[in-house]
Amino acid sequence: MLTAVIWISVMGLSICRPSENQLNTESEEVRSEAIKRLLEVFGMEDPPAALVRGHKQPPQYMLDLYNTIADVNGVTKDPTLLEGNTVRSFFNKLHSEQIEFLFNMSMVAKSEKILTAELHLFKLRPQASLTFNRQHFCQVSVYQVLDSSKKNVSQGKKLLSSRLVPIHSSGWEVFTITQAVRSWMLDEGSNLGLLVSVRTLAGLQMDPKTVRFASGQNHHHSKQPMLVLFTDDGRRAASLELTPKGSDDSPVGQRLPFPSLPLSATARRSARSIDYDESGEKMPCQRLPLYVDFEEIGWSGWIVSPRGYNAYHCKGSCPFPLGQNMRPTNHATVQSIINALKLTKGIETPCCVPDKLFSINLLYFDDDENVVLKQYDDMVAGSCGCH
């Protein structure tokens, strides 16, 4: 049996060396703490429950939206494309003979700002026997149910959206329902669902067989009714508040209060030699790869895309004199001069750090099996400079 500590006597000196069990325990503690901190970066306390891949497919709309705003590595193509920083999709929890829908919004935090909410309905083609209907348009109206006992009368519902829809068309129809979702977030008990009404231009109720929307087990999951919610969780605003004022550089990102871990002797030697390459030559400040693999971390069960991303990191020295290729700030240039002239004791050379950061996008399943698209700022080092 291994003891907790192994003592070795060398030249009369006693050296305490940790046992294998102790090293394994410390390694697990470090990994656990590291995963916890990484979850904080992604705005989570615990990872969502892992899903059996293939049993649940994300909505095509969410996949298309992700591919529109992110490249193959998840990096944002254009920060202005997405409203807010979070998009959530919800499937209907109610199976009714009427065109009625209920969405569970419990996964949305109270602190999130509701920007836009949309009801996505897939309209089916009319049955063959009804294709010669003389009418070409119908009036589709979406109501918020205020009183489930009076939902079929005007007092029990509130009109949210209404427009003309071609009778003989098929495909997705989108209705704005932002007012309803905002009221549900203020009072969770007021979420009694949505009711859809289809009428002729004369105001008469239409035959349900004429205008049909996909819903329930009789239709493919890719055509199921869906609520799409655009929100902002406030993380971006908080990050900008922490950015130093009066700087011409891109923000280096929010600094989380991570406790410093004690460095081993090997790590300390590595820190001292960080500015040198394998040949012993000083390496100028530059950007180097740093791939984050979600499968290795153990997150592949709930993350749809990307499988990982290249965060990059900055490494190298900032020797005097600093050239423009080092992308130095004015402050770094002055610090470099003071260091070179040894005018003040304890002034080090400037550091090689990210001076431009990009956001990444994560498409994943939450604990309620809703698909979420979330954008995270300052996750990829776009370039490095001496600061």
Structure confidence at residue 245 (pLDDT): 38
Residue 124, pLDDT above cutoff 50:
yes
Average pLDDT over residues 98-106: 88
Separation of alpha carbons 80 and 220, rounded Å = 33
Determine the distance from the C-alpha atom of residue 75 to the mean position of all C-alpha atoms in its chain, rounded to a whole number: 11
Residue 186, pLDDT above cutoff 90:
yes
Least confident of 85-89, 131-135, 263-267: 263-267
Mean pLDDT, rounded, of the chain: 80
pLDDT grade for 88, boundaries at 50, 70 and 90:
very high
The identity of residue 160, as a single letter, is L
pLDDT grade for 16, boundaries at 50, 70 and 90:
low
pLDDT grade for 267, boundaries at 50, 70 and 90:
very low
Q: List CB contacts of 164: < 8 A, sequence separation 6 or more.
A: 137, 138, 139, 140, 201
Q: CA separation (Å) from 33 to 30, 141, 197, 208, 263?
A: 5, 51, 53, 57, 15
Average pLDDT over residues 1-6: 44
Residue 246, pLDDT above cutoff 60:
no
Q: List CB contacts of 23: < 8 A, sequence separation 6 or more.
A: none
Residue 239, pLDDT above cutoff 70:
no
Express as a percent the part of the chain with pLDDT over 70: 76
Return the domain boundaries, the chain.
89-105+119-126+137-230
Residue 364, pLDDT above cutoff 80:
yes
Residues forming a β-bridge with 194: 101, 144
Q: List CB contacts of 202: < 8 A, sequence separation 6 or more.
A: none
Residue 154, pLDDT above cutoff 90:
no
Cis peptide before 262 (omega within 30 of 0): no
pLDDT grade for 249, boundaries at 50, 70 and 90:
very low
Separation of alpha carbons 260 and 273, rounded Å = 20
Average pLDDT over residues 108-131: 85
In 293-342, which residue ranges form alpha helices assigned H by DSSP? 294-297, 330-341
Q: CA separation (Å) from 363 to 55, 57, 65, 77, 87?
A: 17, 12, 10, 15, 9
Please give the DSSP secondary-structure letter assigned to residue 49: P
Separation of alpha carbons 315 and 386, rounded Å = 10
Spatial CA neighbour of 363 closest among 309, 302, 312: 302
pLDDT grade for 277, boundaries at 50, 70 and 90:
low
| pTM across the whole model | 0.77
Separation of alpha carbons 173 and 131, rounded Å = 20
Separation of alpha carbons 366 and 373, rounded Å = 10
DSSP class per residue in 150-207: GTTSGGGEEEEEEEEEETT--EEEEEE-HHHHHHHHH-GGG---EEEEEE-TTSPBPP
